[in-house]
Amino acid sequence: MSHDIIHMLEGRVTSLEQRLDKLEHKTHPKVTVSTECFCSFCGRGQREALCIIAGPACYICDECAVLAHEIVLEKRAECAKARETDR
């Protein structure tokens, strides 16, 4: 490629990058990036929890995970008991 074509393409890329920056600023002017995660159930932050597990669209801390596990175990026991009485 000639230097003129390369220079022209670089100019277009720079122009597109500037337009994209302006567009992102207009659509999300006050977006800040936080590196700390918070439990979606109780609101506890990483500094308050032993650990936080990331899901596809939410987070759960260790204490809420234990509570959820206990709820599942209780529900399983209820279902097993209901099945036994149905027989």
Q: pLDDT for 23-55, tens place per residue?
A: 665 555 454 456 789 999 999 999 999 999 999
- Residues 24 and 46 both lie in one domain: no
Domain of 7 in residue numbering reads as: 1-32
- Residues 64 and 87 both lie in one domain: yes
- Residues 22 and 40 both lie in one domain: no
Q: Are 60 and 40 in contact (CB under 8 A)?
A: yes
- Residues 50 and 80 both lie in one domain: yes
Q: What is the tally of structural domains in the chain?
A: 2
- Residues 79 and 65 both lie in one domain: yes
Residue-level pLDDT at 31: 46
- Residues 38 and 56 both lie in one domain: yes
The dihedral region occupied by 79, where left means phi > 0, alpha psi between -120 and 50, and beta the remainder, is alpha
The DSSP code sequence of 57-87 is S-EEEHHHHHHHHHHHHHHHHHHHHHHHHH-
Whether pTM exceeds 0.75: no
- Residues 9 and 20 both lie in one domain: yes
